[in-house]
Amino acid sequence: MVAILDPEASSLYHFSPPKLRLSLAIGRKRNKWYLIFAKSYPTADCREVARLNAAELPVHGHRFWFDHKATTGWEPSDKNLLEYLSSLGAKQPDILSIVSSKGTKSEPSEVVVLIPEHRLARWCERCHSWESIDDPIEARYIISRKEPFPAYLCPPCYESEWCGFRTLRNLFNAVL
């Protein structure tokens, strides 16, 4: 049986490559794609594990050129990171699909992220924090902009932004 990623679920999707006892997630920071820890680990000083898209090549939504130099240090010696993330085992759904490859091991491959937008890890545009699987579902980050790529705010930043707009509006009304 092929594992299917549930598109109906509203939680942040996370996964664990074989033999790795850590939860990982994929998310977008502005127009850059990242492999991140799905939650804060005391031994990791940063949530970001690796940037996945090749910096010099274009990103179109969920489709981008995978940086062949991206690495985590967890890949077995016979696999690069793309192969590692493409072989999570039968029990976990595929998270990436290779669309085209330039044909050599040293060139980027074009990939599509199969995780739907609402199940990706969200990054707060304002305080630069990442969502965590430890956060309650109702604390998921809130979309603040759809174009040119989706942008999000964590609930406290969203709240303060909203209060900022309200203050401005009240000031404006007071002047009139």
Give me the least distance between CB of 97 and Zn ion, in Å please.
31
Task: Report the site for Zn ion in 16-35 (rule: CB under 5 A).
Answer: none
Total of residues contacting Zn ion (CB under 5 A): 5
Residue from 44, 98, 127, 163 in contact with Zn ion (CB under 5 A):
127
From 40-48, 75-83, 125-133, 163-171, give the range in contact with Zn ion by CB under 5 A. Answer: 125-133
- State yes or no: residue 124 binds Zn ion (CB under 5 A): yes
- State yes or no: residue 121 binds Zn ion (CB under 5 A): no
From 31-39, 90-98, 126-134, 162-170, give the range in contact with Zn ion by CB under 5 A. Answer: 126-134
Q: For Zn ion, give the closer residue by CB, 63 or 126.
A: 126
Q: For Zn ion, give the closer residue by CB, 37 or 84.
A: 37
Do residues 115 and 13 make contact, with C-beta atoms less than 8 angstroms apart? yes
- State yes or no: residue 151 binds Zn ion (CB under 5 A): no
Q: Which residues bind Zn ion (CB under 5 A)?
A: 124, 126-127, 154, 157
